[in-house]
Amino acid sequence: MTTLFNILITFIWVFILYALWDAAFSETGAIAGYSWDEMRTYILLAYGINALVGWRVASQMMGTIRTGEITRELTRPLNYRSTQLAAAAGMSVVEGLISLVLILVLGTLLFDVQPPDSPVAAALFAVALLAGFVIKALCIFLISLLCFWTLNSVGLMWAQQAVISVLSGTLIPLAMMPGALRVVAEVLPLRGIVSTPLQIYLGKAQGWDLAGLLALQFGWLAVLWFFSDWAWRKAFNAVEIQGG
Amino acid sequence: MDTNAAPIIEAKGLTKHFRRPVKEPGLKGAVRHLFRPAYADVVAVEGVNLSILPGESVAYVGPNGAGKSTTVKLLTGILVPTSGRVTVNGLTPFENRVENARRIGVVFGQRTQLWWDIPVGESFRLLGDIYELPDETYRASFGELIDVLDLEPLLRVPARQLSLGQRMRCDLAASLLHRPPILYLDEPTIGLDVSVKARFREFIRYMHRERGLTVMLTSHDLGDIEELCDRMVMIDNGRIVYDGALSEVTTRFGWERAVHLTLTEPDESALEAASRALGNRPGAVATQPEPTMVAVTFDSRETTAGELIRDLATALAVTDIRIEEPTAESIIRRLYEGDLVFEQAE
């Protein structure tokens, strides 16, 4: 049920944005280098991708920390971070597959989505998408760890959703952002979640640009990997388990 | 039990302090806390020394908030101590949490470790994978537990549909599937009915006697402690106040006794008369729970029942006298209620 609602909500957003951008593009042929054909594709795929690691992964992890349910997970011989990543992957496979079918159907019927720029772009898109998935899951893991200190999850959830959807390029492509925000978004790891895979998909990045994008993405992936491990240790050492 | 064996669980000077935010009530307090957070240092466990041999069964008791659960969390490695040393199975639990988890079983009475929405049988299979049990070990262990705990009819039922008693049986099986040498039971019999409780105890006794399982049990249920444990460790305010056999708690702390007197007729002035008669006896306190009853509690180290009775019998018209011997239960209850202060165990 939750899965279906998540997908439904994603598509409501897509339709709203579609209508907005349709109006914007009726005046002009291209905005910040994006044609209407590309923009349609971007909107639909961006939301599909950002919905992959959804609300539930974070709320589940924060919930276990807040209530002390985490006790159960910690008395098992499992690495905590791996468990969380696996849970994220599990939920994403289900939601992802359903979304994929919907995107293909709606995309071809209603949105007239563009195919990938080239077979190479398609392959690299898949690689970047996977890396982006891990980046998002790690970011959510890190944010959820804050719950150990705040013991409040609602604020963290909203903040996390908002920041990720802006800085990942889900709401608008990075190229259309105003100066300072654009610089920030281009440096931070969150662009790797949506923007990087889609730039590759649409053929917006070629040659060295493309290599640079992937290098940045994988560089951040490595940093987040080590940082999240360190942060978990820190959290584990510093704080208490809730409940008697 | 081999008394020469090395302890399987050992704690030395184990201490855990928590930092708890101190907020004044209301919005004003909340805002003030935001800018100038104040914290209080809460002592959960202080200098706990504990040494448990393989095959022992130990009851860990104490009032709510005394530090029982914190100790169990420290021993299972899910909390990091502020100071002190812990060794379980030769490992330091919080440093080797994953390795330690393979060699212990944990049952929290108030939390299930089964997956809520999937059939119990599937939960067991998942646990078999999590603990990386070889097929053969899994089948043998699973078969035995199913048999002893009579779980066959429950395997297809999702955990959320189990009654509390059924759930406890499944949780026990889940915690012992990987055949750990140590089992921690944290208030396992909470909410269980009498017959389920009896079966639970029977099972733990069987695993303890036949399989040499080391059991550490926290419970408020004296029946659990009496029937399952050779040894009782009592904690109060984070410190261990008693460590020994349950039966010996009476000889060590049972100096408080009571004499109950039944009067010939209701007497309003009986209490006053009794108090006057006891005037010079230190530590003797009289109460009148009913118009025809007078109870006197006294310290058997200071005075004897005989002396008291002699004093009282001359002052009051008494038909019957009953001397109350202290029981382990009454001593523990009085400790819980806070009106008996134990000296720190040596």
Sorted by where each begins, the domain ranges of chain B are: 54-80+92-250, 255-325
Among B18-27, B178-187, B223-232, the range scoring the smallest mean pLDDT is B18-27
**How distant is the Cα of B99 from the closest Cα of chain A, in angstroms?**
6
pLDDT at residue B105 greater than cutoff 70: yes
Phi, psi of B111 (to 5 degrees): -135, 135
Residue B138 backbone dihedrals phi, psi, to 5 degrees = -60, -50
pLDDT at position A156 is: 82
What's the pLDDT band for B136 if we cut at 50, 70, 90? very high
Q: State how far the Cα of A69 lies from the Cα of A63, in Å rounded to an integer.
A: 8
> Is the model more confident about B218 or about A96?
B218
> Which backbone phi and psi does A18 adopt, to 5 degrees?
-60, -45
Length in residues, chain A: 244
What percent of chain A clears pLDDT 90, i.e. is strictly above it? Answer: 31
Compute, in degrees rounded to 10, the torsion defined by CA atoms B269, B273, B278, B284.
-10
Mutate one of B73, B75, B92, B117 to test the A interface: name it (highest A CB count within 10 A): B73
Whether chain B has a CB inside 8 Å of the CB on A78: the answer is yes
- Between the alpha carbon of residue B191 and those of residues A122, A127, A242, B196, B333, the distances in Å are 58, 53, 21, 10, 19
Q: Which residue has the higher pLDDT, B280 or B208?
A: B208
Q: What are the residues whose beta carbons fall under 8 Å from the beta carbon of B227, sequence distance 6 or more? A: B201, B205
Q: Is B126 on the interface with A (CB under 8 A)?
A: no
- Number of neighbours of residue B177 by Cβ within 10 angstroms: 23
**Helix A119-145 crosses helix A154-167 at what angle (to 10 degrees)?**
150
The residue-averaged pLDDT of A220-231 equals 95
Whether the CB of A1 is below 8 Å from some CB of chain B: the reply is no
Q: Distance between CA atoms of B90 and B113, rounded to whole angstroms?
A: 26
Placement of tokens 């190479």 in the chain: A120
Chain A and chain B share a number of CB contacts under 8 A equal to: 43
Indicate the SS3 state at residue B108: strand
Q: Residue type for B228, please?
A: L
CATH classification of B255-325 is 3.40.50.10880, yes or no? no
Residue pair B295/B258 in contact by the 8 Å Cβ criterion: yes
Q: Is residue B98 less than 8 Å (CB to CB) from chain A? A: yes
- Residue B131 and residue A236: Cβ atoms within 8 Å? no
Q: What is the SS3 assignment for B56? A: coil
Q: What percentage of chain B reaches a pLDDT higher than 90?
A: 37
The answer to whether B18 faces chain A, any CB pair under 8 Å, is yes
Please give the pLDDT value at position B100.
Answer: 93
Mutate which of B71, B108, B124, B133 to disrupt the A interface (most A C-beta within 10 Å)?
B108
Is residue B110 classed as helix, strand or coil in its secondary structure?
coil
- Find the angle CA(B209)-CA(B215)-CA(B220) to the nearest 5 degrees: 115
Contacts for B261 with CB less than 8 Å, ≥ 6 apart: B274, B293, B294, B295, B296, B312, B316, B318, B320, B321
Q: Do A71 and B78 touch (CB under 8 A)?
A: yes
Residue B228's closest CA among B242, B240, B215? Answer: B215
pLDDT tens digits, residue range A59-76? Answer: 888 888 877 788 888 889
CB B269 within 8 A of CB B287: no
Is residue B342 within 8 angstroms of chain A, CB to CB?
Answer: no
pLDDT tens column, B284-340:
888 888 888 888 888 887 888 888 888 888 888 888 888 887 777 777 777 777 666
Which tens digit of pLDDT belongs to each residue from A114-169? Answer: 888 899 999 999 999 999 999 999 998 998 888 887 777 788 888 888 899 899 99
Which residue in A72, A79, A241 is closest to B79 by CB distance? A241
Chain B CB contacts of A75 below 8 Å: 76, 78, 101, 104, 106, 113
Please tell me which residue of chain B has the smallest CA distance to A71.
B78
Rounded to 5°, the CA angle A49-A51-A53 comes to 95
What is the distance between the alpha carbons of residues B12 and B280, in angstroms, rounded to a whole number?
46
**Predicted confidence band at A219 (pLDDT cuts at 50, 70, 90)?**
very high
CATH fold for the domain made of B54-80+92-250:
Rossmann fold (3.40.50)
Inter-residue contact B5 to B54 (CB < 8 Å):
yes
Task: Report whether pLDDT(B346) > 50.
Answer: no
**Widest CA span in chain A:** 63
What whole-number distance in Å separates Cα of residue A136 and Cα of residue A197? Answer: 13
Q: Look over chain B and give the mean of its residue pLDDT values, rounded to a whole number.
A: 86
What is the reported pLDDT for B170? 93
